[in-house]
Amino acid sequence: MAKNKLGGRNLLFPMPVVLVGTMIDGRANFAPVAYVGSHDRKTVSIGVHRGHATAASILDDKEFSLNIPSVPMVRKVDFTGMKSGANYDKSELFEVFHGTLENTPMIEKCPVNLECKLTETIELNNRYVFMGEIVEAWTDDAFLTNGEVDLSRVDPLLFNINDAAYWRVSDKLGEAWDPGTTLEWEK
């Protein structure tokens, strides 16, 4: 097979879009972020441009929320990415609730909300990578099946940098740690 060389490009996409929630001058602010990392069951990271209002408020408060929007929320998500909390009040766009931490506004309408404490900040070119420990996770009954968050009900919004477009998850293929068992191991 003739492979094409594409250069040193990050092709780890699509990624889930999260709305990062912070407080700016006492009001809730949300910004979509797709540079999201998931490192273990309690640790996440987000890559945020240094110029964003979100970066300044995370550095100040050492807290942030991750709100997972569903596909029907796409217009509002996109809109929050066109305005900065530095000069535009985004607090009226969503119904907001607060949980355990003081400065982590969360969006009622988002199926899943994660409250995070900043544990580490990595300086990377023009960005900060904020590492967060999840201190609490929130959802509604409507998104649970047998007590677990059900991906098909959440219908999360995905972002693909390569075509700068939004995508959605399609079908469940089957259980993990299972299809491999049907392959005979050859050394």
Question: Under the rule (CB under 6 A), what is the footprint of ligand FMN?
Answer: 17, 29, 31-35, 47-49, 52-54, 78, 81, 83-86, 159
Q: Which is nearer to ligand FMN, 9 or 172 (CB)?
A: 9
Q: Which is nearer to ligand FMN, 149 or 158 (CB)?
A: 158
For residue 164, the minimal CB distance to ligand FMN (Å) is: 8
With contact defined as beta carbons under 8 Å apart, do 64 and 8 qualify?
no
Q: Which is nearer to ligand FMN, 50 or 144 (CB)?
A: 50
Q: Which residue is nearest to ligand FMN (CB)?
A: 81
Q: Is the peptide bond before 14 cis (omega within 30 degrees of 0)?
A: yes
For residue 53, the minimal CB distance to ligand FMN (Å) is: 4
Q: Which is nearer to ligand FMN, 43 or 84 (CB)?
A: 84
For residue 112, the minimal CB distance to ligand FMN (Å) is: 17
For residue 118, the minimal CB distance to ligand FMN (Å) is: 15
Residues in contact with 6: Cβ distance below 8 Å, sequence separation at least 6, in sequence order: none
Burial of 110 by CB count in 10 Å (0-12 exposed, 13-18 middle, 19+ buried)? Answer: buried
Residues in contact with 145: Cβ distance below 8 Å, sequence separation at least 6, in sequence order: 153
Query: Shortest CA distance to 69 belongs to which of 24, 12, 20?
Result: 20
Q: Annotate 4-17 with b (16+ C-beta within 10 A) or e (fewer).
A: eeeeeeeeeebbbb
Q: Which is nearer to ligand FMN, 86 or 144 (CB)?
A: 86
Q: Where are the alpha helices (DSSP H) in the chain?
A: 53-61, 74-80, 151-154
For residue 180, the minimal CB distance to ligand FMN (Å) is: 33
